Amino acid sequence: ATAAPLSRPIVVVNEITLRDLAGIPVGRLRGVGDKKRAALETLGIEHVLDLLTTYPRRWVDRTNEARIADLVAGEQALVLAAVRSVRKRPTRNRRTIVNVNVGDGTGRLDVVFFNQPWRERQLHEGLQIALFGKVDTYRNGLQMTNPIVDLIGDRTGKIVPIYPQSEKAQVSTWELATWVEEALRRTEPRGVADPVPAATVERLGLIGRGAALHAIHAPDTIRAKNAARRRLAFDELLRVQLVLVLRKRAIEREQRGIEHETGGDLRRRFGNALSYELTGAQSRVIEEISADLRAPHPMHRLLQGDVGSGKTVVAVATMLTAVDGGFQAALMAPTEVLAEQHAAGIRALVEGVSVPAADNLFGDRPLRIELLTNRVTGSERKDIMAGLADGGVDIVIGTHALIQDAVDFASLGVVVVDEQHRFGVEQRAALRDKAPDGRTPDMLVMTATPIPRTAAMTVYGDLDVSVLDEMPPGRTPVVTHWANGPLMESGVWVDVREQVAAGRQAYVVCPLIEESEKLEVASAEETHDRLVADELAGLRVGLLHGRMISAEKEAVMDRFRSGSIDVLVATTVIEVGVDVPNATVMVILDADRFGIAQLHPLRGRVGRGEHRSTCWLVTQLLETNNARVDALVDSTDGFELAEVDLELRGEGTLMSSAQKGRSDLKLASLRRDRELVALARDAAFEIVDHDPGLAHHRGLLDELDLLFSDRDEEFLTRG
């Protein structure tokens, strides 16, 4: 790279870097003896960097503090006081009550904790605590019930940081605060290095990193704390984005792709033969993909589209582009059922479309599409394998059987992977490596699990993303109802019977028991037997669950598909992809046990045909509203629901599954910090595109090296 306009001037002062901080054991701090060092170690705090990135989980703003004498019944208040007495006693129904009396020099206050027996051990006479809660009157006096309690110890200051505490570790929040303070004081003579380009910091209005570290731990005002949080969260997100963007660019640089022709005859014939107009979103996405296909570097694109948004046509257009240029295409699905369904659907879609072939007497030859799963055996399998190896097969659709060593392709040009969350990165790579001449096939990954944009940027940050955000016309959205309690549930079975009488079919999804598949199967069997004996007596009811062997499952699915079963009672095995247009009722039992991310695709199993469909979310009589059930009743838009889901759940699950091994986000939240994620991603592109090897951003490079595992940053050394 040439001059990098974004890089900082060479630093003369030897400022302290994160690596320096990671090299100082906490035992070097005053007050941290052997015992405390061991205690800190159990909290995962070994060196000063660990300590300084152990951020407060809360900040008590003493400027809002109330004196006990001024408390008003019925209002929320923050009180700082000393513990005067603690008493624990059992109640009649074997619960415990802990009564605590506190005082602050202006008066005394009674505090009551129900069902928190450990408060007796936590709170002892003389301890300084902050209490936050609603003040009530009780027997002529004032009282707080189950308030939030923070131990603040001897901390003064207007804003007191409260650190995560663990009773076992024997480290108090004020001890942590004291050590953090000392560590920060020791950084002062040299100052804290700030490796983020000054221009970026300035443009985004961020405060300096040293100032941020101070202000997150010992802020003067809540505003200062917020500014500090924003800066440090940005740094976390920037590092993640740098890793992703570096990887993306490294792959683009290193892998030689195929420059496909996208204006071929076959694709045009396919377009002309379609019985409907493409939606605007489909046309746009096909164009995005075509641009990738033409480019010299291989495509790595994620296609997100809700159930029913029409991903198949996009996949077929992509694959036919490869065939147009004399290449082969493969589509990989996560299960045999799905592979078979795809094969049937795609064959129907390209029915009658033939391949222009100049060397053929008749000018055309039929398109050859094959299905390859572990169920295809014997001479048929041999024949397909031979066709893949000599180029006779144009498109192959299959399961992971496709990536076995024995499968050779003559000229694999495009790979489509459906339902990406079931495949690992390694499996994708294995299929890509099937390209014979060192050229990497273009890859399209399809998922029906909508992921909010900013989350996608992080979880799939090394892929480009296309979104099908428009449904094909002429479909009636599924109407969703909440059936709360047995009375309403009986109405559900009436609806099922009516629909079956009208020639339609129904699914009944059994309660999810995440802890045990065995219990789940047992409960499905029970539900099945109960319905057969009672609510659905006389109907043809089938059972499908995860412990059946695949031949059994397939037999049941075939009978449901052909209409010889009216109602299919199933566990969540039907979650993905099963397509029976005649099914118009979806009943989900104990719906409150499922997450939005499960409920939405389940509901997507109906509403696939011309008939009006209904989804019933059945719960045992719930006393309060259920936010997830409400969201499903209110919306059928997968992306909207994904946002709600992220809101309700937090990003924990999302990150833990997809981000394993990457440096944690300690402050940043994909939910709260959407704007920062986007800014960090832009900044990462700007930095990497000016300085692909980070040669002029040594400080950043060093931080990635320090904070990310080898696997995460393997490309750093390659770049």
Binding site residues, ligand ADP, CB under 6 A: 276-279, 282, 305, 307-313, 448, 472
Burial class of residue 406, CB neighbours in 10 A (0-12, 13-18, 19+):
exposed
Question: Least distance in Å: CB of 681 to ligand ADP?
Answer: 26
Residue 579 or 673 having the CB closest to ligand ADP:
579
Query: Which residue, 439 or 605, is less far from ligand ADP as judged by CB?
Result: 605
Nearer to ligand ADP, 602 or 677 (CB): 602
Q: What is the largest CA-CA distance in the chain?
A: 103
CA distances from 596 to 415, 602, 670 (A): 30, 10, 18
Tell me the C-alpha to C-alpha distance, in Å, between residue 446 and each of 263, 312, 676.
23, 9, 27
Nearest-angstrom CA–CA distance, 231 and 206:
6
Rg from Cα positions in the chain: 31
In the complex, least distance from residue 278 CB atom to ligand ADP, rounded to whole angstroms: 5
What gap in Å lies between CA 404 and CA 431, rounded to an integer?
9
User: For residue 143, what are the β-bridge partners?
Assistant: 110, 136
Task: Return the closest-CA partner of residue 434 out of 461, 407, 453.
Answer: 407
Residue with tokens 């003064």: 156
CB 338, min distance to ligand ADP, A: 10
Residue 307, C-beta contacts closer than 8 angstroms, at least 6 positions apart: 448, 600, 601, 604, 638
How far apart are CB 327 and ligand ADP at their closest, in Å? Answer: 23
Least distance from ligand ADP to the Cβ atom of residue 472, Å: 3
Alpha helix stretches (DSSP H) within 188-301:
198-203, 209-217, 222-254, 265-273, 280-294
For 567, 605, 662, the CA distances from 585, given in Å and listed in that order, are 9, 9, 43
Q: DSSP letters along 588-647, please?
A: ETTGGGS-HHHHHHHHTTSS-SSS--EEEEEES--SS--HHHHHHHH---HHHHHHHHHH
Q: Which residue, 302 or 496, is less far from ligand ADP as judged by CB?
A: 302
Residue 559, H or E segment: helix 550-561
Instruction: Confirm if 130 and 78 have CB atoms less than 8 A apart.
Output: yes
Q: Which is nearer to ligand ADP, 210 or 310 (CB)?
A: 310
Residue 127 near residue 83 (C-beta atoms within 8 A): yes
As measured in angstroms, the least distance from the Cβ of 573 to ligand ADP is 18
Closest CB to ligand ADP among residues 394, 469? 469
Q: How many C-beta atoms surround the C-beta of residue 686 within 10 A?
A: 17
> C-beta of 448: minimal distance to ligand ADP in Å?
6
Smaller CB distance to ligand ADP: residue 282 or 321?
A: 282
Q: With contact defined as beta carbons under 8 Å apart, do 709 and 661 qualify?
A: yes
Task: Residue 648: name the closest of 602, 598, 596, 603 by CA.
Answer: 596
Q: Do 573 and 494 touch, CB atoms closer than 8 A?
A: no
Nearest-approach distance from CB 629 to ligand ADP, in angstroms: 24
Rounded to the nearest whole angstrom, what is the least distance from the CB of residue 406 to ligand ADP in the complex?
Answer: 30
Q: Is 456 helix (H, G, I), strand (E, B) or coil?
A: helix
- Of the two residues 610 and 710, which places its CB atom closer to ligand ADP in the complex? 610
DSSP 407: -
- C-beta of 601 vs 699, nearer to ligand ADP: 601
Q: Minimum CB separation from ligand ADP for residue 313, in Å?
A: 5
Instruction: Kindly state the smallest distance separating residue 402's Cβ from ligand ADP, in Å.
Output: 19
Q: Is the CB of 310 or the CB of 461 nearer to ligand ADP?
A: 310
Residue number, 147 or 638, with CB nearest to ligand ADP = 638
Q: Give dist(CA 326, CA 295) in Å, integer.
A: 17
The two tokens of residue 106 are 């202006």
312 or 669: CB nearest ligand ADP: 312
Nearest partner of 243 among 696, 655, 695, 687, judged by Cα: 687
Nearer to ligand ADP, 197 or 310 (CB): 310
Residue 305 vs 334, nearer CB to ligand ADP: 305
- Give least dist CB 245 to ligand ADP, A: 29
Is residue 321 within 8 Å of 299, Cβ to Cβ?
no
Nearest approach, Cβ of residue 276 and ligand ADP (Å): 4
Q: Do 110 and 131 touch, CB atoms closer than 8 A? A: no
What's the min distance (Å) between Cβ of 306 and ligand ADP?
7
